[in-house]
Amino acid sequence: MTDRPTAPDPRPPHPAPDATPDLSSRDPDWWRQAVVYQIYPRSFADADGDGLGDLRGITRRLTRLSALGVDALWLSPFYPSELADGGYDVADPRDVDPRLGTLDDFDALVREAHRLGLKVIVDIVPNHTSHQHVWFQEALRAGPGSPARDRYVFRDGRGASGELPPTDWQSVFGGSAWQRVPDGQWYLHLFAAEQPDLNWDHPDVREDFRTTLRFWSDRGVDGFRIDVAHALTKDLEEPLRDLGDHAAGGEAALVDFAPGTHPFYDRDETHEIYRDWRKIFDTYTPPRTAVAEAWVPGARRALYARPDELGQAFNFEYLEAVWDADELRQVITDSLATAQAAGASATWVLSNHDVIRHASRLMLPPGTDTNAWLLSGGKAPAVDPEAGLRRARAATLLMLALPGSAYVYQGEELGLPEVADLPTSVLQDPIWEQTGRVRKGRDGCRVPLPWTTTGPSYGFGANGAWLPQPPSFAAYSVEAQDGVEGSTLELYRTALRLRRKLIDGETLKWAEDTPEGVLQFDRGDGWRCVTNLSAAPVPLPPGEVALTSAPLEDGHLPPDTTAWLTR
């Protein structure tokens, strides 16, 4: 592709909402109720027309994010990477992938974000590196028993000539978690074979990550998202144990293990690392923040969010909850209690780059085999996009009324559905090949954003996009929704502006006498949120209607609708 400039932004953004950007904000608690917008850089905006999103593309659109009303950006990895796992295979954690820009471009992005009052969070990937990382290349050359191999997890194989992997451990992406190298040894990779696991018992590994945290903090980064935060330390005492029926990767592997005893997930000694990192975070003003990506059960997850560790952890129970009033109420109550017990603020997430977008997911009947759904191209069962969007908007207004911080994934403010019918020939997620083409993977939520109603990639860039966008994206584009009353983009803008005004305290109070299938709670002084998850319209509770996710019907709250009321 050529080097033509990106398509211009269609219309000037709306003025930023009320809150005056506080550039010098030194408030140490800014993150507790922040709305954080996740950018998947390769799919956000392509400034140089090579089909991949880049840092300059992001910088050019920052005024739009400020006008949307978010408080912070989280950038998924933009580091040098061969993209074996969408950038989570990091070849150099202290540089920018040349296809995405330079360190100067990064500095310009941070400067502009701060000028607009937006904080910047970057992704740290401490469980593994890319196999292209200098350390791994050195380890391959240095051979068995060398100090260089000790920074990773190399072992001899089993069987007469070491031809069998050292254990039965499985990769999260499918298949054995061990890969053999030409000299006969095997190395551990809990994810793709191109992502060798680091050995966190090695002092070089610990020191290098301290350097990385300081490197980005010194460049003005305000916080960090910690990838696979629960897998860093491992029980590598010989002999390594087989796991039998529990060998599969992922959260399910934790079932049946006493807390902290699984050989490579959620081990107690992992917390020492984060206590060490907290000391670094606290040398900055305001202290750098962090959020753990830890797919572990609630009470264990909260440990990562303790104030002397990372401070926050993603609440995946909320993301995984089905669209049911009783289940959601329970999850919300438990999440608030768990976060409070840890001294953290709660977090809420509906979508990210690893899961089916919530405008589609919330319509799937509970228990749906989501991989089978993806393999059917989103046809079995079929999801009505309008009904999905209606439910997603209701879920979003509910989320944005909850105490704590909300993580919004790029494109959800446009109401984007999952692109479930990507042809298998274009799939990039390593899950597809690593499972022997059985699991379709996560590309359907990573399709580049539509900015305009026309153009070769709907304004994403001047040329094509690295994953094909469906024609239906035109109607979801920023251009199609900007300034259009009732559009999802305008709903998010209004909701975020109101949220800033209405936020008061970090607690909620449930209403007890609500109709079946209705969730209703009050926040602070006069902010009431009511969601109708039942199949029939319900009367509105007292209050002045400030915002609804769908029009009211004869003064009633229709199904799959949330209303915010004020006193």
* Positions that interact with ligand NOJ (CB under 6 A): 85, 88, 125, 191, 227-228, 293, 353-354
Q: Is the CB of 306 or the CB of 353 nearer to ligand NOJ? A: 353
Considering the complex, what minimum distance in angstroms separates the CB of residue 441 from ligand NOJ? 10
In one-letter notation, the amino acid at residue 388 is G
Query: Which burial class, exposed, middle or buried, applies to 175 when counting CB atoms under 10 A from its CB (0-12, 13-18, 19+)?
Result: middle
Shortest distance (Å) from residue 491 CB to ligand NOJ: 27
Which candidate in 293, 412, 413, 482 is catalytic? Answer: 293
Cα 337 from Cα 132, distance rounded (Å): 43
Residues 6+ away with beta carbon under 8 Å from 537: 553, 554, 556, 557, 558, 559
Query: Least distance in Å: CB of 43 to ligand NOJ?
Result: 13
Sign of the four-CA dihedral 163, 164, 167, 173: positive
Q: What distance in Å separates the CA atoms of residue 474 and residue 243, rounded to the nearest whole number? A: 49
The 3-state DSSP composition of the chain as helix, strand, coil percent (nearest 5) reads 30, 15, 55
The nearest distance, CB 199 to ligand NOJ, in angstroms, is 17
Between 213 and 445, whose beta carbon lies closer to ligand NOJ? 445
CB of 372 to ligand NOJ, least distance (A): 21
Whether the Cβ atoms of residue 443 and residue 422 lie closer than 8 Å to each other: yes
Rounded-to-10 torsion of CA 444, 450, 453, 459 = -130
Report the residue number, 311 or 430, with the smaller CB distance to ligand NOJ.
Answer: 430
Distance in Å, CB of 427 to ligand NOJ, minimum: 14
Residue 354 bears catalytic tag: no
Considering beta carbons, is residue 66 or 171 the nearer one to ligand NOJ?
A: 171
The type of residue at 463 is N
Look up residue 558 and give its two tokens.
């229709």
Q: Among residues 277 and 409, whose Cβ is nearest to ligand NOJ? A: 409
By C-alpha distance, which of 165, 224, 226, 158 is closest to 193? 165
Return the ∠ at Cα 534 (arms to 532 and 538), rounded to 5°. 60
Amino acid identity, position 496: L
- Closest CB 30 distance from ligand NOJ, rounded Å: 24
Left (φ > 0), alpha (ψ -120 to 50) or beta: where does 220 sit? left
- Among residues 76 and 452, whose Cβ is nearest to ligand NOJ? 76
CA distances 288 to 29, 214, 226, 280, Å, are: 10, 10, 13, 8
- C-beta of 173: minimal distance to ligand NOJ in Å? 8
Measured at CB, which residue is nearest to ligand NOJ? 88
Structure tokens at 435: 């499972």
| Residue closer to ligand NOJ, measured from CB, 88 or 281 | 88
Please choose, from the candidates 100, 114, 122, the residue with its C-alpha nearest in 3D space to the C-alpha of residue 62: 114
Burial class (CB in 10 A: 0-12, 13-18, 19+), 535: exposed
Residue (271 or 353) nearer to ligand NOJ, CB: 353
Q: Could you tell me where the DSSP H helices lie in 197-283?
A: 203-218, 270-281
Catalytic residue among 227, 412, 418, 443: 227
Question: Is 256 one of the catalytic residues?
Answer: no
Instruction: Enumerate the active-site residues.
Output: 227, 293
